[in-house]
Amino acid sequence: MKKVLFLFFAAIAWVINVKAQNIRVKPVKGERGVVVGVNVVNPMRASLADQNAAFNQLKAAGVKVIRCGITSDAKGIDYAKRAAANGLSIQIILSPQYLQAAPSRPYDPKNFPNMWSGHPLSYADPTLSKVYYQSLFEQLDKNGIILTGIELGNEINWAAFNPEFPLPGEGKILNIHDLYNDPEGKQIAKGFLQYLKILAVLKEVRDQSRLNRQAPIILAGLVSAPDGEKLYNNKKEDIVSLPGTIGFLQTNGLDTLVDAYGIHSYPWAGQPGNPAADGKRAARFTSVDIAECQPVGSKSGKPAWITEWGFNNTDQNCPINDTARTLLIKQMMGVFEKAAAQGRLAGVTYFAWNSDPWSKQPDPYSLYRCNGLTSGGKEAIKPLLAFALTVQHPVIAQHIAVGVNLINPYKLSIADQNTMLSKIKSAGVHVIRASITPNDAGIDFAQRAWNQGIQIEWMIYRFGGYDPFGHVPLSAADPKQFRNSFALILARLEAKGIKLTAFELGNEINLSGTNPEFPLPGKGIQLSLNDLYHDKEGQQIAKGYLQYLKILSVLKEIRDQSKLNQHTPILTAGLGNYEQADGPLPNRPKGDIVSINSTIEYMRAHGLDSLVDGYAVHIYPWGNGPGDASAAAGRKTRLENFDLQECKPIDSKGGKPCWITEWGFNNTDMNCPINDTNRIALVREMMNNYRPYVRQGQLVGLFYFFMEQRPFIKKHFAGKYLSLRHAYGKRKISNRHNIIKIMGT
């Protein structure tokens, strides 16, 4: 089992392994673009009541992301759970861990009031840090908490937050040359190298997380200081320049460990609204703050994530006069938009929403003052013009869901289910498309899959009394019955902390074999869009489609109110296809079908796009002529015309992206060892066909169709697909390694 699953999963994964030079950037508007959030200062110092009050304020304002640190104990996890319950995702700040014997710099408020105590970065311990991160991420996974980003450290290039710097220092900005040659610089560089080791263990832990393996890792928010500039004050508190810090870290492997560069930008606040002053601020941001930052996919460099930025307002009166700051914030948001449109900016989090809970006076940078959001705050949390990649990069968008189908696992014993889940996990598969039955068996299976690090793309097979293989047609589906049953099972899943990959409502509702709305026997035709409006049979099928939309509406309502799955995509039923024009169906004299294109177009005309996030389709390409150019061209043309024609990029004005929730080729060879040469050639060919759709954001899910061969299905499906049980038992794919090498995995 492991070998076959690995082979196909590796082949499927290859389609999304797009080389950097092939990635393109285009501007779009939408929530999947640049992350916009706010800093919440030291929330663990606040009382439970004050924490909840802040959550209510943030939620009411429409904030979705908060940057903060949390403790790894029960209090920290509880804070994260309550944040999630209020629709807030955390951009977490993590610190390295140190041995108790590590030297520590004491706090000296008299001489250096803003230089904090702590350990030199060179003493950070990778082993302790890894244990700490593993414990934290396990707790996050267990409680269904998904992070927006993971930022390691804070302002490590400045004496205030990195005790590697001496106090007093020389009162200068060190450059990259100093990191290699100056005694102070060489010591700071030693800490930077240790920081990279901590980043490596953090990435290792992140990559093994069930829920957060796609959460971007962000370089510690760096102080923005150019080479050669005079220090901002006359105190002997040193800084390493922004280009010096990033350049040194890049040379030593930074770009293999992070997804974005965290940068702190506090622009000059002079002459708000003055065009010349505005130009000065914009030029500084471009030439200094993000000078080292590159679009996602560049050969070197990463996009910027402005993890702190802001302007102060020292007015302590209520109501506050925030006019000048509002002008400044509005101008900088425009500057950010331009950087975002270039693909060089992944996120901005304003500093700060609130004041430190221990502070006696309002923080002049805070946005929430006088019991309300200031006018500047309203500008700071507005969505930015997003940049969308042709590949859905985890820094800014949802990732490609890649997995396999698992058909009717409930016919297996618990022991066989567990064996299969273990083998799926060991093959590197993290998502399965499967049903979850509305009983204890379904909940238990979903829980055991979740515990193995496997998410479920939930195929909701029967709903509202509709029976695809019985006598209850789609038009008889009862929204009220569906509401009662679905809400209950989703609540039970969420009570166990289970997050789903997607909701797929139904299966092949456009085929006579799986929708009793179609008459049997039928005419042996593929009905057109026109038939759905004018043909007697087509009108009855359309009646079922309209009822299906009512069920979808209930699903969306329940999804939107859920705690853990309110952002889980909703998909149409996986739509079957015959890959031909409308009209008579050869070799199908009694079964009818409505094409993918006509089904989607009809339902779109009746509100589909307001209810779903994607169109699920099933593709079983012709398997003729493996390696033949003419046959390959035919498969590519049919894919374009009949399978994926309706698929549009995320945030398109008309249409949704597609998820291929079933696809595959058969192999009728029942010998051992199996000869799988032709099928592997066909799979490789289809990978190439899928890649342009992935790049354009038109294809965001891909699930190969596997089937567990058992006596109860062997009678009906023997030879149609490769038997997993047979293959996993004794078969070996003799050319597996060669094929994987060819695939580039």
Residues 184-198 have pLDDT tens digits of: 999 999 999 999 999
Residue 324 pLDDT > 80, yes or no?
A: yes
Asked if residue 248 belongs to a domain, the reply is no
- Where would I find the beta strands (DSSP E) of 555-698? 570-571, 583-584, 593-594, 615-619, 658-663
Q: How many domains does the chain have?
A: 1
- What are the tens digits of pLDDT across the range 253-277? 999 999 999 999 999 999 999 999 9
Is position 356 within any domain?
no
What confidence category does residue 723 fall into, taking pLDDT thresholds of 50, 70 and 90?
Answer: very low
List all residues 6 or more positions away from 676 whose beta carbon is below 8 Å from its beta carbon.
667, 669, 722, 733, 735
Please report, for the domain that includes residue 625, its CATH number. Answer: 3.20.20.80
Beta carbons within 10 angstroms of residue 171's beta carbon: 14
Residues 665 and 596: their CA atoms lie apart, in Å, by 20
Residue 222, domain member (yes or no): no
Domain limits for position 714: 401-743
State the SS3 of 56-94: HHHHHHCCCEEEECCCCCHHHHHHHHHHHHCCCEEEEEE
Categorize the per-residue pLDDT at 430 as very low, low, confident or very high, splitting at 50, 70 and 90: confident
Cα–Cα distance, 424 to 406 (Å, whole number): 10
643 within domain boundaries? yes
Section 655-663 average pLDDT:
95
DSSP 100-163: TTS--BPP-TTT-TT---B--GGGB-HHHHHHHHHHHHHHHHHTT---SEEEEEE-TTBTTT-T
Q: What is the DSSP letter of 371?
A: T
Q: Is 726 part of any domain?
A: yes
435-493: per-residue pLDDT in tens? Answer: 999 999 999 999 999 988 899 999 998 899 998 888 899 999 999 999 999 999 999 99
92-101, 254-263, 399-408, 485-494: which has the minimum mean pLDDT? 399-408
Give the confidence band of 380 by pLDDT, cuts at 50, 70, 90. Answer: very high
Residue 385 pLDDT grade (very low, low, confident, very high; cuts 50, 70, 90): low
Inside any domain, residue 491: yes
Of 29 and 723, the one with more pLDDT: 29
> Considering only CA atoms, which of 745, 555, 577 is closest in space to residue 647?
577
- Dist. CA 39–CA 148, nearest whole Å: 13
Dist CA 174 CA 227 (whole Å): 7
Q: Residue 264: inside a domain, yes or no?
A: no
SS3 content of the chain, % helix, strand, coil (to 5): 40, 15, 45
Work out the number of other CB atoms within 10 angstroms of the CB of residue 666. 14
Band of pLDDT at residue 657, cut at 50, 70 and 90 = very high
Distance CA 394, CA 247 (A): 24
Helix (H) or strand (E) holding 369: strand 368-369
Confirm whether 416 is domain-assigned: yes
pTM, to two decimals: 0.60
Q: Say how far apart CA 78 and CA 70 lie, in whole Å.
A: 10
